[in-house]
Each structure stands twice: as C-alpha cells, then as structure tokens.
A and B are shown apart, each in its own frame.
Chain A
Amino acid sequence: MTIMLTLSAFAIGIVGAVPLAVGLSSSNMLVRLASRLFVDLVRGVPIIVWLFLLKFGIQIGTFKFNPVAAAIVGLGVVSMAYLAEIYRGGLQAVPRGQGEAAHALGLTRGTTFYGVMVPQAFRIVSPSIATYLTGLLKDSSIASTIIVAEMVFQSQSFARQHPTVEGILPYILVGILYIVLSLPVAYLSRRLDSRMRKAVYA
C-alpha cells in the first residue's frame, strides 16, 4: 500500500507539475499569478490538513472520497506543487544563451522547450526529484491518519492489540522497510545522474 500510494501520487505530481511549471514561468501575468497562487497555497498548508480536508471536508452529492483516493489525490496535488517549483528552478538554471541560440536557428518555441530546455533542465533537477521522491515515500505515512491501511497504520493497530513492549516491534520493522525502500531510489538517482554527466562530457 505504501509503495502504491507513493508511486501513484508521484505519477500525478511529475506529470501535473509540467503545465504548472510552464505556468510559473509564463510571460502572461494572469497565468503566472494563478500558478503561483496555487503552488503557494498547496505548499503553505501541511499535508495532513489537506488529507483531512479531502477525506472529511469534501462531499459532492453522494460522492465522498474513500480514504485511499483521498490520500492519492492529496499527496499527488502536493507533489505537483513541489515538483513544479523544482522544474521551474531547473528551467531557470539553463543558460539564457541556449534559448536564444535555439530561436536564432529558427526552432519553434515548442521545439526549443522540449528539445533544448527540458533535457538540460531534467539533468539539473533529477537529484532534487529523487530527494523529493524519498520524502514523499515517508510522507505517505501521513495517510494512516485518514485510515489508509499503509505500513504505519498497520503498525498502530498491531501496537493497539499488543499494549506491551512488543508493540514497538512493527515500528522498528517499518523503519527498516522505509530505509530499504528509499535506498534503491537514491541509488538509481545517483546512477542516472552520473550516466547523464558522462553523456555530456563523453
């Protein structure tokens, strides 16, 4: 459940952040302002509050979020905001001359963006994205508060049934599991980074 939760939210975030990042650096003031407002609003409120709002605050007709959906949507939207900010930073870190050279060659805005800016920005932000992913993995434990049966929630119920010293065991186990899960992310990120570095300097 933890993995499913993290990956779903991450998928929403990584895709949804693209238009948001474009909006953040748009030359249209209205678009920029709206994106900025969204990002700051989402980032300014703790995840736990968003999850409670989604789970217990929203009822559209007879539709009510089930806990898992609420957790995925909540974590996904928060990821979107954080990743958009990371993307924006990456795009801004690409030297100005790159865009100018592309324009001077007659490349369209779209080609310039996807063919020139994004690949370079991706190289710059990939470590930050990996860091965010490990953060998200651990933040997914917050979903336990709205009764999503992920790792921490299950540890809690075990501890409630065994109100002795052994109640601590699942927590230790879960702690180790989180480390085991986040290690491959860090490892893959480092490999990806060094491979991209080699590609540029080879």
Chain B
Amino acid sequence: MYHFTYHVTWPTSTDGLLVPTWKIAMTLSEIADGKLAPRTGIKLDKISKRYGDHTVLDDVSLHVEPGTVTALIGPSGAGKSTFLRCINLLERPDSGTIQVAGHTIEPGKVVNNKDLAALRSTVGMVFQSFNLFPHMSAMKNISFPQQKVLGRTKEEADARSMELLERVGLKEKANQHPGRCSGGQQQRIAIARALALDPSIMLFDEPTSALDPEVGLEVLAVMRELAADGMTMIVVTHEMQFARDVSDTLVVMADCKIIEQGDPGAIMSDPQEARTRRFLRAVLER
C-alpha cells in the first residue's frame, strides 16, 4: 500500500483558530475516493466520572495518536465503556478535559448543539447491541444520518451507502430490514452507518461480544481493513487475538483506572501489574 504524507490544517468550528498541524498519512485508495477527512487524535486528561457515591472513572488520561489503533481491555465494571462514551459525550465526565476533532471539552463548558453534532459526526461509534434502526432498511439506516447530519441529497447518500455496503460485503442486503439480517451482518451495517459520516475516529464498544465467535470474525475482518486504511480507532474488546495483531497500543483498565498501557505483545507476554496478569490469565486460558 502506498502512503503519502500530508500536512493538513483545519479550523475549529467555534472560534476560527487553527488547531495544531498534524502529519497525516493517507492511502492511495482514499485519496482516489476524495476522502480527505483529516485524521485527528484524541487527548483525554484526568477524566473522572461518578454516579452518586459510585466512582466509575478516577482520573483517567489517555492520548491517542492519529492513525493508530488502541485496544482497551479489562474486567467488567472497570469503566471501559464509560470512558469510551465520554469521548463522544454520550457521558459527560465530572472533571477532566477532552480534546477531540478540534474540539476541547471542559467541565462546566456549555457545548452548543451544533458543535455537539459536529463532534459526534467526526467520531463514529459502534455498539455491542448494534442499535440499527429496526424500522428502516439497511440502506436507509446508512443514508438517513447522512441526509440529516451532512445535508447530503438522497441520491448522494444512497450512492455512498451502496459503496459502504459493498465494502462490508453486504450489497445484497441493501433493501432488507435489520430484522432479516444476522447479528454479524447487522454489526457490519452498523459499521457502514458510522463510516458514512466520514468520521476521522471510530469507537468500538465490544463490537463482537453479542456475536458467536464465528460470526464475530466477519466483523473483525472489517475492522482489520479499517485499521489497515489508517483509521484512528479505540476498541473496547475481549478479543485478545485481535488486540495483539491489530492494535498499536494496548490499554488495560481495572477499578476505574488505567493500570497498564503499551505495546500489546509486550504487555501480553510480560505484564507488569499483578492485576493485569490475573486478568490476562483469565481471558487467555479459557
């Protein structure tokens, strides 16, 4: 695959200031597609979240370089999903700052609806339970947000939807409703729906946990392709093989904190923390 390096700058939508220049690597095919959406990183600083007395996130910081894949693993209740959901503000953290896609979010700062929509359309999200709209066909699921959020015409949106359905190998499902698709197919449609808004970051919240292992592979294959194309991705997952092969950084969360992060191979073969060791033994030896 040929890589070209570009310097891209783009204005923030709030005050017209330029955010720092990032080096952007794009693949030839994407340039041919005309998809020059800037690749952006994510910077989360000291994120805390509490529900009443119950702490979910305790001072968690994470930097994600553009074009990299970060796998987020750890036991249930560690705060992985909540952390992920803070990035596109499905959860508002109590404290800490979030810098994503040219937006800076601080506690107490009012994010107007326009900025929120802009932020969310640059950050795609894929859920464990797919959450396709059951009353719309696969095509409509993908086209509807494009028309509403990006203002594309129906023809433009449908053309892009078709392209993406083909990419995830589900062209023939275009006119079917989600109820007629298998879990793996639904999840691939959901990925296509998120990609349709040309996001620069993709968040995956246990995308294969509701699928049987075989069907999960279809979904992982699509994600591997995305990663190879240089999409910035954060993946909450229990798929260790995927984390080892695809991710650039492995982040281990437990008890509302990040306890270890670094090269996936290194952490898996030689974890530094006892808690990591215990968790890895549990998932690897089953």
Name A's B-contacting residues (CB within 8 A).
95, 97-98, 100-109, 111, 115-116, 119-120, 123, 199-202
A109–B114 CA distance with the chains assembled, in angstroms: 11
Among A102, A104, A105, A123, residue most surrounded by chain B Cβ atoms (within 10 Å) = A105
Contacts of A105 in B (CB 8 A): 120-121, 125, 145, 149, 193-194, 197
Extra A-B contacts (4), CB below 8 Å, given A101-B125, A200-B135: A97-B131, A106-B121, A116-B133, A120-B135
A116 to B132, CA, bound (A): 10
A contact face: mostly helix, strand, loop, or mixed: helix
Residue of A nearest to B179 (CB): A201
- Nearest CB on B from A42, distance (A): 31
Taken together as a complex, chains A and B put the C-alpha atoms of A201 and B137 apart, in Å, by 10
B134-166 vs A, Cβ < 8 Å mask (1 yes, 0 no): 110000000011001100000000000000000
Please indicate the chain A residues that have their CB under 8 angstroms from the CB of B131 in the complex. 95, 97-98, 100-101
Q: Is B113 an interface residue (CB 8 A)?
A: yes
For B194, what are the chain A residues with a Cβ–Cβ distance below 8 Å?
104-105
- Between-chain CB contacts (< 8 Å), 10 pairs: A104-B127, A105-B125, A105-B149, A105-B194, A106-B118, A106-B197, A107-B149, A115-B144, A200-B177, A201-B177
Which residue on chain B has the smallest CB distance to residue A201?
A: B179
| Interface residue tally on B, bucketed by range | 20 to 34
- The smallest C-beta distance from A156 to any residue of chain B, in angstroms, reads 47
**Hey, which chain B residues are within 8 Å of A98, CB to CB?**
131, 133
Give the 9 A-B CB pairs with smallest separation, nearest first.
Answer: A101-B131, A106-B121, A106-B120, A97-B131, A104-B125, A106-B117, A201-B179, A105-B145, A106-B149
A115 to B145, CA, bound (A): 10
For B114, the closest partner residue in chain A by CB is A108
A201/B117 contact (C-beta < 8 A), A100-B90, A101-B127, A105-B145 known: no
Write out the residue numbers on chain B whose beta carbons fall within 8 Å of the beta carbon of A95: 129, 131
What residues of B have a CB within 8 angstroms of the CB of A107 in the complex? 117, 145, 148-149
Please give the distance in Å from B147's CB to the nearest CB on chain A.
10
- Residues in B with CB closer than 8 Å to A120 are 133-135
Instruction: Point out the residues of chain B lying under 8 angstroms from A119, CB to CB.
Output: 135
A108 with B113, Cβ < 8 A, contacts A103-B90, A200-B177, A201-B179 known: yes
B185 interface hit (Cβ, 8 Å): no
Complex contact B148–A111 (CB within 8 A): yes
Interface centre among B90, B121, B135 (most CB of A within 10 A): B135
CA distance A119 to B190 in the complex (A): 19
Chain A residues positioned under 8 Å from B119 (CB to CB): 106
Nearest B residue to A122 via CB reads B135
The interface residues of chain A lying within 8 Å CB-to-CB of B148 are 107-108, 111, 115
- Chain B residues within an 8 Å CB radius of A201: 177, 179-180
Which A residues touch B144, using CB under 8 A?
115
Give CA–CA (A103, B179) in the complex, Å.
Answer: 22
Of all chain A residues, the one with the shortest Cβ separation from B178 is A200
B118 touches A200 (CB 8 A): no
Complex CA gap A154/B194 in Å reads 62
Q: Check A97/B129 contact, CB under 8 A, given A106-B145, A201-B177.
A: yes
Write the chain A residue with the least CB distance to B150: A106
Give the contacting residue for A103; candidates B120, B176, B193, B197; CB below 8 A. B120
Given contacts A100-B127, A107-B149, whether A200 and B197 have CB atoms under 8 Å apart is no
Q: Is B247 at the interface (CB under 8 A from chain A)?
A: no
Kindly list chain A residues whose C-beta atoms are within 8 Å of the C-beta of B149.
Answer: 105-107
Question: What are the residues of chain B within 8 A of A109 when measuring CB–CB?
Answer: 113
B187 interface residue (CB < 8 Å to A): no
Given the known interface contacts A98-B131, A119-B135, A200-B134, the answer about A104 and B177 at a Cβ–Cβ threshold of 8 Å is: no
Residues of A contacting B133 in the complex (Cβ-Cβ under 8 angstroms) = 98, 101-102, 116, 120
